[in-house]
Amino acid sequence: MLLAVGSLAFDTVTTPSGKVDNVLGGSLNYFAIAASLTEPLDIVGVVGSDFPAEHLAWLRSRGIGTNGIQVMEGKTFHWEGSYDGRLQEARTHQTELNVLADFDPQLSPTQKAATAVFLANIDPVLQMRVIDQVQAPGLIMCDSMNYWIASKRPELEALLARVDIVCFNEQEVFALTGKGSLRQAAKAIQYLGPSIVIVKRGEYGAMLFYQDSVLFVPAYLVDAVVDPTGAGDSFAGGFFASLHKHDITIDTLRRALIQGSVISSFTVEDFSFRRLGSIQIADVARRTQALLAMY
């Protein structure tokens, strides 16, 4: 079973294309919706009493188990941010943890038997609590961000010692390692524990470092980027859903990278996951063929 833990949220986002207030977001939402295009999964997180029950029902209709979602009295996590004209990196204006501040992930017996675990971007202390509960996972992947690198580096490094795959953007890789090149930075991260290091590079695609191999996949070029929020999480969902049932080889890693890149290209075409949530696997297949034609 594939298990994912992370945040469900309301987002307020401003981009050159406009502004949306209190739309559904959160790392776990994007990951799960992307992964569910090809694999069923269970998710664990927390929401407030203001979170729409109909959205949880919609997730279940996509093969996403929501029994691990705690509903607590109070408000759901809220993030507000904006992007400049280049749409390269989000600027955070406000973060309201709300019920997420008291989140203590507790896995069911079935979830503890998960064979593959994805730890979306939350406090590394919480990510570690999940690992401590899973009995014998065959594959663990995690995401993180600059905030945790700066504020909880010892906890993050302890987490990295226990995961197989880590996914950072380019700025986070350099912030964590202080190295001068991506290859040096990837080796430094591998030394901490993960055998596979993925570096997300936005419109320039993604790179993957495994043993002595380096893989690269370009971003699928869309006509217009409306909102990049959640693109990295949906990339991770597509990647991990493709990989987790297969032996790790260069070919399976390459296929997973391509799937992640293609699925994330839908996310950026609209605010929230309006576009991502509307596509079918046939849409992914068409863009995959177009992306392969670029090689």
Q: Which residue has the tokens 């906890």?
A: 155
Cα distance between residue 236 and residue 264, in whole Å? 9
| 211, amino acid identity | Q
262: buried, middle or exposed (CB in 10 Å: 19+, 13-18, 0-12)? buried
Output the domain CATH number for residue 29. Answer: 3.40.1190.20
Cα–chain center distance at 231: 8
Per-residue pLDDT of the chain (295 residues; tens, 9 = 90+): 999 999 999 999 999 999 999 999 999 999 999 999 999 999 999 999 999 999 999 999 999 999 999 999 999 999 999 998 778 778 899 999 999 999 999 999 999 999 999 999 999 999 999 999 999 999 999 999 888 999 999 999 999 999 999 999 999 999 999 998 999 999 999 999 999 999 999 888 999 999 999 999 999 999 999 999 999 999 999 999 999 999 999 999 999 999 999 999 999 999 999 999 999 999 999 999 999 987 6
Burial 182-218 (b: 16+ CB within 10 A, else e): beebbeebbebebebbbbbbbeebbbbbbeeeebebe
Determine contact, residues 69/107, Cβ cutoff 8 Å.
no
Give the C-alpha distances (Å, rounded to integers) separating 260 from 43, 92, 231, 244, 286.
19, 25, 9, 13, 14
Q: How many domains does the chain have?
A: 1
Q: What is the pTM of this model?
A: 0.96
Range of the domain at 199: 2-292
Continuous segment of H or E residues that includes residue 3: strand 2-5
pLDDT at 242: 97
